[in-house]
Chains A and B, each alone.
Chain A
Amino acid sequence: MVIGGLMNIDKDLVAAMATPLVLAILVEGTSYGYAILKRVRELSSGELEWTDGMLYPLLHRLERLGYIHAEWGVSPEGRRRRYYEITEAGHAQLTEQRRQWDTATRTLGGLWGLALPVARA
């Protein structure tokens, strides 16, 4: 970690992380675009640089693939807002992605001396 500065994460890596990250956040509960991004910032302590606007095409793609379900609702301030909810297919997809990430992190961890538990689906 670069102390005092932003750690630069490779663009491709961010793109690869995007789907599992969004799905995992939605597992915590139904949410909407701005809140999802806030959660990403919070989780990565602001180290994950993400162009906010790109989240929406991603959400629409996940919806088209049937991983999440979207519904228009109203925010407490009375603004129109699209809420996203993870579907069963989304859960399955997340499990699969998690398996792959576990393998990747365990492999690298083996080299770098990180001890990662073997995750179960």
Chain B
Amino acid sequence: MSMDSVEQQIDQWRAAVLRGRAVDGGDADELEGHLREQIEDLESAGLSGEEAFLIAVKRLGEVDLITAEFAREHSDRLWKQLAMSHADESERRPMLTMLGFATATAVLIQVARLLAGFPGPSSAWFVRDLSLFVLPVLAAYFAVVRGMPWRPAVGLAGAVAVLGVAVNVFPFAPGSSTDMLVAIHLPIALWFVVGVAYVGGDVRSAARRMDFIRFTGEWAIYYALIALGGGVLLGLTSLVLTPIAPGAIPEVMTWVVPSGAAGAVVVAAWLVEEKKSVIENLAPVLTAIFTPLFAVMLLVSAIGYLAAGIGLDFDRDLLTVFDVLLLVVVGLVVYGISARDTNRPPGVMDVLRLVAVIAAVVLDVLVLGSMLARVGEFGFTANRVAALGLNVVLLVNLVVTAWLIARLLMGKAPAVRIERWQTGYLPVFAAWVLVVVLVVPPLFGFA
């Protein structure tokens, strides 16, 4: 009878351990095995079942502390399984906070639009500043949700202010390419600001950086889904309005589209955080589908380029295409690795990743080489410097990545090295984006 009650107590204890979200069945087995062995040892020393259980549990330590330690070690599991743990009554508040910030950015962008008279001839600054009305709000949302301390929060606000002032005091020539470059790179710079807020200012932690990379992928997917839904809604709206008020359609669109697109940025971020458990991470799934396809495509292209050689009349904008290609490959590697069970031995997917990365590097070196050989012919423009710089940044990343994957396949380095390399490389990307936003325009006379 006493034996039964000990069994029951062990079951209860195991259930309490499993309530820790980063603890999986295997871990619970391991801990339970430990507990049972300890109990047996104590019993053989003459203690009763009950006494032995109590002492064994005490020696293992408080369940909360153990599961917290597991969570620290397995933050990736936490990410995958983060169920909506908060009880029903407290579920409203985060949603209201989110809606508040989503409304704030939606209103902000309308005010800016009205001030700029968009769509109109004098609205160049509105297009350039678009992200300034949205992403700082998202960063503020995370700063609030994460309870970021004052000092880093003020620092972030300062960084946003510097960026905002700089890009607006720059005397861009109308329709200049530096203006375009800033319009493209400013959102990325601000996304890093969002990142700092997302990790609650804990920028040193590789695990938190990885979380932000995961967040970025999931956010993009959620945003695309919301945009699809929004497109259907707007299409139907215009069809429904056509018979009664065709003239009102453009008016409705200029109000709904900017606000909807801005608000959706915050909503998508909230969804990623809140619904992690509802949809299993999508980015790794898409990665698993596309890694083999891209590997084949890249391999065939690399062989093709090697066989045919690059013609003399290749497009000067080819470099931009290759920037996008390398970016996609980096994405495939990062999201593939992020979902990889770090303790599993290397497999086919790792081989495919290596093939994709090496083929991409070979392709890029070919293009880059022939580009640099004729740099005198083309000359440097702001666009070309931006494309070239990004290309070099990505190439360095991929060369090291290829080396690390190869070492992983040879069993000489754990997968975590690749993750560390990618998280460690984030500041390089951020620095380059800042250079394009703040240094390149003055360097090229805002042309």
Contact = CB atoms under 8 A, between A and B. Distances in A.
Interface residues of B, number: 26
Interface string A16-43: 0000000000000000011001000000
Interface in B25-46: 26-27, 29-31, 33-34, 36-38
A54 B250 CA distance: 63
Contacts of A75: 33
Contacts of A37: 34
Contact of A53 (B37, B61, B414): B61
Interface majority SS (helix, strand, loop, mixed), chain B: helix
Interface residues of A, number: 23
B365 interface: no
Given A57-B70, A63-B343, A64-B416, A34 B61 contact: no
Contact of B61 (A52, A64, A80, A89): A52
A110 interface: no
Interface string B37-81: 110000000000000000000011101011001101110000000
Given A52-B38, A56-B30, A80-B33, A65 B416 contact: yes
A82 B30 contact: yes
B343 A79 contact: no
B66 A53 contact: yes
B30 A64 contact: no
Nearest to B56: A52
A67 to B, nearest CB: 9
A109 interface: no
A33 B29 contact: no
From B34, B65, B70, B342, name the one whose CB has the most chain A CB atoms within 10 angstroms. Answer: B34
Contact of A60 (B29, B38, B61, B73): B73
Contact of B60 (A51, A80, A81): A51
B199 to A, nearest CB: 20
Contacts of A64: 73, 342-343, 414, 416
Contacts of A89: 414
A94 interface: no
A83 B435 CA distance: 51
Contact of B31 (A56, A63, A66, A79): A56
Contact of A52 (B59, B342, B343, B413): B59
A70 interface: yes
A60 B34 CA distance: 15
B62 to A, nearest CB: 8
A99 interface: no
Nearest to A79: B33
B61 A54 contact: yes
Nearest to B59: A52
Contacts of A54: 61, 65-66, 69
A56 B27 contact: yes
B74 A65 contact: no
From A52, A60, A72, A75, name the one whose CB has the most chain B CB atoms within 10 angstroms. Answer: A52
B67 to A, nearest CB: 9
A102 B413 CA distance: 27
Contacts of B72: 57
Contacts of B416: 64-66
Contacts of B342: 64
A19 to B, nearest CB: 13
Enumerate the 3 nearest inter-chain pairs by beta-carbon distance, A residue then B residue, closest first: A66-B414, A51-B61, A53-B66
17 contacts: A34-B34, A34-B37, A51-B61, A51-B65, A52-B61, A53-B65, A54-B61, A54-B65, A54-B69, A56-B34, A56-B66, A57-B70, A60-B73, A61-B73, A65-B414, A79-B33, A89-B414
Interface of A: 33-34, 37, 51-54, 56-57, 60-61, 63-66, 70, 72, 75, 79-82, 89
